[in-house]
Amino acid sequence: MSNILDTRDPQDAPEASGPAGADVIRCDACPVLCRIRTGQTGACDRYANVEGRLVRSDPLLILQRAVDTGGRLVPFLKPGQPWDGSIVSAANTFVTGIGATTTYPDYKPAPFIVASQADGVDMVTVVTEGIFSYCGLKLKIDTDRWLGPEQAAVRVGGEAVGHVTTAEYGSQMLSLGGVHHLTGGSKKEGNVTCETMLTLANKGEVELQIDGGASVRVQAGRPPVVNGEHEERMRVGCGSATIGIFAQQWLGHCDEVIVVDDHITGVLTEHQAGKFLDMKPAGIRVRGRKSTPGRYFKVAEPGLGWGGTEITDPLSIIDRIDPKTAWPGLRLLMVSTTGEDAAWFVLDEQLVPRKAPMPAPVQLVVDRIAENCEPALSTVLFMGGAGGSLRAGVTENPVRLTRSVKEAITRVTCGGAPVYVWPGGGITVMVDVLAMPENSFGYVPTPALVLPIEFTMPAVAYAGMGGHLGRVVKLEDVLRSTEFRAEAARMGNPWPL
């Protein structure tokens, strides 16, 4: 190990502490400063008074990955067993921030500053649990259903916890939390917001009510439930895109296809795809505002019907049928962007659409629309800014950490999971909660969320940024002196180092 990394006595392992009283000690792990009696925990359930000592309730989480020993994958640490004293390497062992304790108050170095080696390079990982008042959740809800108007409040138990933001391709987007809901409203609003975020971040289910819109049950990695209905499919595309994808497959089987969509409804024979296929104009004009040939906006109001509109009768969007262009026997398919709704019509002698059994070749394409729709899922992304206490826990000159992260010298992870670092000032990270270990998040009743976070860098870079070198501990000493639990690294996540 390089002499840059002066190690400390393992008995000096990081541990939360507070001034002792008779049967009560004060916890200084967050601004609430709970007074905790012997045998009890603080308001956050994360710290306890054990015989007059303030300790973290849950053990430190160590991630491990199996190593190949002659074709047999063997885990380094066995669940429930202590470290056996063998040589360890960052190649298969990583200390996460889960159970690490916090840097609060700001002047304290991070609880664990771990020295290890990776591919012969001396590394340092600064490990902590950060208190995030400035944080929120971004919810991506895969559904063709309309959930509510943009900017509408999202509520839990009547309290506003966020708002509807811009819809993206095949997904409705919600933004929850943020410092204004956590601390800028009533005490109840802040507590409900914190509880909602904590439940969702720890992969639990929450029911959300959107003003002027739907009731939605959301859980990371699960299909959303909209007004009691389980969503199954994310749309294949807008109405225009659906026309373009499947036009060739409809040729010869349909005389006209109308794909109903809340945003862009497609009409095959008017669309460029129909023109390229030399399809005869059908003379069926739909309601709404024509954008470009075969593409119509606002054919109906948003809702829970066909294609995210309010309609249940697809013929209601037909404005007129031109007798100079249309003909008796014209074959018309009307379908939604998920294929969940579809109907087949044939024009009679008076050019009135009459419902008829759908031909097998047409049904095949409708089924193919459904096949090309990905499963509807709810995605929960945590987003927060790493500020004062986090950065001061790494170095006495916090701006150097920020620069190191932006220059990709320092890698940021959350519970060992990869994060996206936003451009611009500060260290603003976003992480998919499904990539993190179970129950990674905690809270403090200020209210705020507690996020495990790790900063990993070469040892020379840590020394260069003015890191707390006197607090560096070898990985072996962490395992020797600290209660921990081991868990397998998640498949699909890059190894943190």
- pLDDT of 81-119, one tens digit each? 667 666 677 788 999 999 998 877 777 899 999 999 888
- Summarize the confidence of residues 290-313 as an average pLDDT: 92
Distance between CA atoms of residues 344 and 337, nearest Å: 15
Q: Are 289 and 315 in contact (CB under 8 A)?
A: no
- Summarize the confidence of residues 48-75 as an average pLDDT: 74
Residues in the chain: 497
Does the structure show a pLDDT above 70 at 230? yes
- Which amino acid belongs to residue 376? A
Lowest mean pLDDT among 4-18, 156-170, 462-476: 4-18
Task: State the number of CA atoms in the 13 A half-sphere of 164 facing the CB.
Answer: 22
Q: Are 479 and 83 in contact (CB under 8 A)?
A: yes
* Helix, strand, coil % in the chain, rounded to nearest 5: 20, 35, 45
Outline where 205-268 has alpha helix (H). Answer: 239-250
Q: Are 307 and 273 in contact (CB under 8 A)?
A: no
**Which CA distances in Å does 109 have to 99, 115, 266, 283, 497?**
16, 15, 60, 74, 22
Structure tokens at 114: 């771990």
pLDDT for 71 equals 47
DSSP codes, 410-460: SEEEETTEE-EEPSSSSEEEEEEGGGSPTT--EEETTTEEEEEEEEEEEHH
388: left (phi over 0), alpha (psi -120 to 50) or beta: alpha
Handedness of CA 389, 394, 396, 402 (dihedral sign): negative
Does the structure show a pLDDT above 50 at 157? yes
Residue showing tokens 């024009």: 347
Distance between CA atoms of residues 54 and 128, nearest Å: 17
pLDDT for 82 equals 67
Does the structure show a pLDDT above 80 at 68? no
Lowest mean pLDDT among 110-114, 168-172, 409-413, 436-440: 168-172
Q: Are 341 and 325 in contact (CB under 8 A)?
A: no
Distance between CA atoms of residues 288 and 264, nearest Å: 10
Query: For residue 474, how far is the Cα from the chain centroid?
Result: 33
Distance between CA atoms of residues 157 and 192, nearest Å: 8
Does the structure show a pLDDT above 80 at 1? no
Distance between CA atoms of residues 319 and 220, nearest Å: 42
Distance between CA atoms of residues 117 and 361, nearest Å: 62
Task: State the number of CA atoms in the 13 A half-sphere of 107 facing the CB.
Answer: 1
Q: Which of 112, 107, 98 is nearest to 28 (CA)?
A: 107
Residue showing tokens 């664990």: 112
Distance between CA atoms of residues 140 and 381, nearest Å: 8
Q: Which of 91, 85, 82 is nearest to 64 (CA)?
A: 91
pLDDT for 480 equals 87
Q: Is the peptide bond before 79 cis (omega within 30 degrees of 0)?
A: no
Distance between CA atoms of residues 475 and 10, nearest Å: 11
What residues does each domain of the chain span?
10-128+387-410+451-488, 135-234, 239-371
Outline where 216-315 has alpha helix (H). Answer: 239-250, 272-276
Structure tokens at 343: 């109907």
pLDDT digits over 339-391, tens only? 999 999 999 999 999 999 999 999 999 999 999 999 999 999 999 998 877 89
Q: Which residues contact 110 (CB under 8 A, 6 or more apart)?
A: 14, 100, 103, 126, 127, 128, 393, 394, 468, 471
Angle at alpha carbon of residue 170, lines to 205 and 384, rounded to 5°: 55
DSSP codes, 32-84: T--EEETT-B-TTSSEEEETTEEEESSPEEEEE--EEETTEEE-SS-TT----
| Cβ count within 10 A of residue 451 | 26
pLDDT for 5 equals 36
Lowest mean pLDDT among 384-388, 390-394, 454-458, 468-472: 384-388
Structure tokens at 209: 């009510």
Distance between CA atoms of residues 308 and 132, nearest Å: 36
pLDDT for 247 equals 97
Distance between CA atoms of residues 371 and 339, nearest Å: 9
Does the structure show a pLDDT above 70 at 2? no
Q: Which residues contact 361 (CB under 8 A, 6 or more apart)?
A: 253
- Can you give the pTM of this predicted structure? 0.86
- Summarize the confidence of residues 478-486 as an average pLDDT: 87
